[in-house]
Structure 1
Amino acid sequence: MDSIAFWNCGGAKKKEASLYMKEFINDYKVFFVGLVETKISSFDRIDFERIKGPNWDFFILPSEELSGGIMILWRIDIASFSVLKTLDYCMIGDLNVFNKGSWMIATVYGSKEVHKRRLLWDCIHEKSQRNIPAVIGGDFNCILSQEEKRGGRKFTFSQGSLEMFKFMNDNDYHDVGVVVQDILGSIIKWEVEEF
């Protein structure tokens, strides 16, 4: 197992999403997944084990009505995950990969509201001041270039794009882009070469 992934699944209880996730995890040897827009308000261990099996654990940030929601999944034989902070649109925690080290992981389902995005940047900045590497992934609901956009009006830097770009520059974060994409949604896979 050597990869982590983030995916806007558009509903984690959909049969197609579950099957696709299993296949993706096996094909790319994923041991940590940050799912956003799960549209799940509750999820019990029996439902979870039916989908993923006993070698996995999860933490859920419930959706509000029929939108949002974040779920973190990780292989318990490879790593542990401890939640540091949750917001309606973000879950931040430490991923400790056994005998390899720890990383701060922020899984984001970005708000379109300027005020909430600013709170998100402040929260991530605060939590990332510790001396461990950090990875931020998910759906930011904000794009930084024309290449990220399909159809519609031509891309222009909005206030949200400029603030996200400034946040990334101020904190030395780098956009790895979309590595794998499918009709079910975007998945960002980040290779952890040390594993």
Structure 2
Amino acid sequence: MVSIEHKDVESLIGTGCNFSYVPLAGLSGGILVLWRSNLANFSMIESSSQFIIGDLDILNKGKWRIATIYGSKDVYNRRLLCNGLEPHITNDCIMVIGGDFNCLLDKEDKKGGRRFSFSFGPKEMKYFMTSNDIYELGFSGHRLTWSNNKKGSDQIMERLDRMMVNSISVNYNQQMVVKHLPRIVSDHCPILLNTLKSSSKVKKSIKFEDVWASYPASYAVVEKA
């Protein structure tokens, strides 16, 4: 994905779409964002090798801030992802952050291979979510979204792909439902976000994990809240 033109997009999914993209870095990476021109308009705010973020004006739904993620496997490079997103996180409108974070958050997010360790990577990602008032959406479908496509004892499966939202989205008058679709040609499951009419508002829950107390900066977050 060195460069993309409209004819390339049309050959993949047909006419009527517009797009923004980040090209490949070497032989890996690359992000492509597509939207139906007759249903929405996307204005990119910032991009990097790990994300594209912008405002999506959706017909009959207003403005949503959307961040599409392809996180680095390296924990130190992934800090650039969090640092790049933070200035653009808002509660002025619905915000959705979704994609391949390349980060495990829990031992239940891994099957096979080396045992999960709650190391700097998971700790920093959870702290990023807490300090920025970001919540992970529930999902239906298979929990583990990535596979190394091997069999037997060599198989490794992990949950690398997620959808997260800001606090205003939690009280949105439509229920947000994430589906993990079957893997077909990729080693990742596609993840689909649907909005359904809800008769009652979703109650916001408060969660706390003991590990947050090991970060002195967390005290300031709690005090501010």
Give yes or no for TM over 0.5: yes
2:95 aligned residue: 134
State the match for 1:180 in structure 2. Answer: 180
Is the aligned partner of 1:102 residue 2:63? yes
Q: Distance in 1 between matches of 2:42 and 2:196?
A: 19
Task: Tell me: higher relative CO, structure 1 or 2? Use CA pairs within 8 A at least 6 residues apart.
Answer: 1
- Separation in structure 1 between the aligned mates of residue 181 and residue 59 of structure 2, nearest angstrom: 29
Q: 1:64 aligns to what?
A: 25
Deviations 1:102-151 (A, max 9, x none): 11111111112333322221221110136122111111110111222121
Alpha-carbon deviations, 1:53-76, whole Å to 9, x = none?
A: 122111111011211000001111
Output the CA distance in 1 between the equivalents of 2:17 and 2:36. 4
Give the drift of 1:90. 0.8
Contact map agreement 1:104 1:133 (CA 8 A) in 2: yes
What does residue 9 of structure 1 align with? none
SS of 1:99's equivalent? Answer: coil
Give the aligned partner of residue 54 of structure 1.
15
Judge conservation of contact 1:41–1:65 (CA < 8 Å) in 2.
no
Using the alignment, how far apart are the partners of 1:100 and 1:129 within structure 2?
17
Q: What residue number does 1:75 align with?
A: 36
Rounded Cα–Cα distance in structure 1 between residues aligned with 2:108 and 2:192? 18
RMSD between superposed Cα atoms in Å: 1.9
Residue 142 of structure 1 aligns to a residue whose secondary structure is coil
Q: Could you tell me how far apart the structure 1 residues matched to 2:46 and 2:112 are? A: 36
For structure 1, the 5+ residue unaligned runs are 1-39
CA separation of 1:154/1:88 partners in 2, compared to 1, >3 Å: closer, same or farther? same
Per the alignment, residue 171 of structure 1 pairs with: 132
Q: Distance in 2 between matches of 1:175 and 1:149?
A: 18
Q: Computing the radius of gyration over CA atoms, which structure comes out larger, 1 or 2?
A: 2
How far apart are the structure 2 equivalents of 1:111 and 1:136? 15
Distance change (3 Å), C-alpha of 1:71 and 1:83: same
- Give ranges in structure 2 of 5+ residues lacking alignment: 144-178, 198-225
Q: For residue 188 of structure 1, what is the amino acid of its counterpart? A: I
Assess if the C-alpha contact under 8 Å between 1:89 and 1:108 holds in 2: yes
- In the alignment, residue 69 of structure 1 is paired with which amino acid? G
**What code does the residue aligned with 1:135 have?**
V
**SS at structure 2 position matched to 1:168:** helix
Name the structure 1 match of 2:5.
Answer: 44
Q: How many residues align?
A: 156
Q: Measured at CA, do residues 69 and 76 of structure 1 come closer, stay the same or move farther in structure 2, by a change above 3 Å?
A: same
Deviation at 1:88, TM superposition (A): 1.3
Q: Who is 1:27 aligned against?
A: none
